Amino acid sequence: MGPASTVQTDEAAGTPAAEGRAAARHVAIIMDGNGRWAAARGLPRVAGHRAGVQAVRRAIETASKLGVEWLTLYAFSSENWRRPITEVLDLTGLLRHFLKSEIAELKAEGVRLRFIGDRARFERDIQFDLGAAERDTAHNTRLNLVIALSYGARAEIVTAARAAAAAIAAGTLDPADLDEDRFATFLSTTGIPDPDLIIRTSGEQRLSNFLLWQCAYAELVFLDLLWPDFGPEAFSAALAEFARRERRFGARLG
Ligand code: FPP
């Protein structure tokens, strides 16, 4: 791994509240490194993605335990459709299996699910299960889990701009009223607070078309470990790093 790490995962993570600092209410994660994890073990890429699903499970449990209110996971980008068809089928197969096998448990654990991205690109049965998972968990409040699927931030912003333009053309929106807050209501994340913290694993330091509007003031933490190795310790360390940062939102404090 390169020198990308900004966090020491062996550091004791004091809770932000105990340190008198704001906790990360919304954590969004770019889950990267499944392929390299598999390659390092001489395994096919799908084995890395399977281990990645286990890490997803751990991340949800940890977020819930640590009192994170919103967890957004970048599971499939709009660019991922360009991967070899076998890998696309492996990924959509894992998604299908996840939806069949995990939703009942997530529902029982108080997790509310929401999906962002272009779900129309998935097969009908998956689209159906996505809608069912959202409906079945709509009353849960313990943890809000947002999964980005076939998601691309630029496309999301263009779609929002088109919807705003259509509202203006229809006479239901005055251009003078189109400010940042109003524009955000046209995004797929309407109603979801902006992420406080973006975590990316695998040592890469890029946003890769993820939540570009929403992460304007997010803190970025890049972890030098591969997604299948992401566990409670790394999650706590990233939250502790967040708690150490001084967030100014462009203003001068003090
Ligand atoms: C990046 O690793 C990861 C992905 C493209 C997919 C992430 C998917 C999962 C964690 C599993 C599916 C999730 C759900 C919710 C069912 P990579 O393949 O780009 O790794 P590499 O950069 O090392 O090749």
Residue 208 CB–ligand 1 contact under 6 Å: no
Per-residue pLDDT, 86:
98
Question: Residue 207 in contact with residue 213, Cβ under 8 Å?
Answer: no
CA-closest candidate to residue 34, choices 25, 24, 44? 44
Distances 52 to 101, 176, 182, 202 between C-alpha atoms, Å = 15, 46, 36, 12
Question: Residue 150 in contact with residue 83, Cβ under 8 Å?
Answer: no
Using the Cα atoms of residue 142, residue 24, residue 63 and residue 44 in order, give the sign of their dihedral.
Answer: positive
Residue 163 lies in a domain: no
Per-residue pLDDT, 7:
52
Residue 253 lies in a domain: no
Per-residue pLDDT, 89:
98
Residue 60 lies in a domain: yes
Q: Determine the 3-state secondary structure of 211 from DSSP.
A: coil
Range of the domain at 129: 22-152+194-244
pLDDT < 70 stretches in the chain: 1-21, 252-254
Nearest CA to ligand 1 atom 1: 32
Residue 228 CB–ligand 1 contact under 6 Å: no
Angle in degrees, 0-180, between the axes of helices 45-66 and 85-108, rounded to the nearest 10? 30
Per-residue pLDDT, 251:
77
CATH number at residue 202: 3.40.1180.10
Residue to mutate (ligand 1; options 34, 81, 209; most atoms within 8 A of CB): 34
Question: Residue 225 in contact with residue 9, Cβ under 8 Å?
Answer: yes
Residue 142 lies in a domain: yes
Q: Ligand 1 center to residue 49 CA distance, Å?
A: 5
This model's pTM is above 0.85: yes
Residue 103 lies in a domain: yes
Respond yes or no: is residue 209 known to be catalytic.
no
Taking the CA of residue 94 as reference, the ligand 1 atom at the shortest distance is 16
**How many angstroms separate the CA atoms of 216 and 156, rounded?**
15
Residue 35 CB–ligand 1 contact under 6 Å: yes
Domains in the chain, number: 1
Residue 149 CB–ligand 1 contact under 6 Å: no
Respond yes or no: is residue 80 known to be catalytic.
yes
Residue to mutate (ligand 1; options 29, 30, 32; most atoms within 8 A of CB): 32
Residue 4 lies in a domain: no
Nearest CA to ligand 1 atom 16: 95
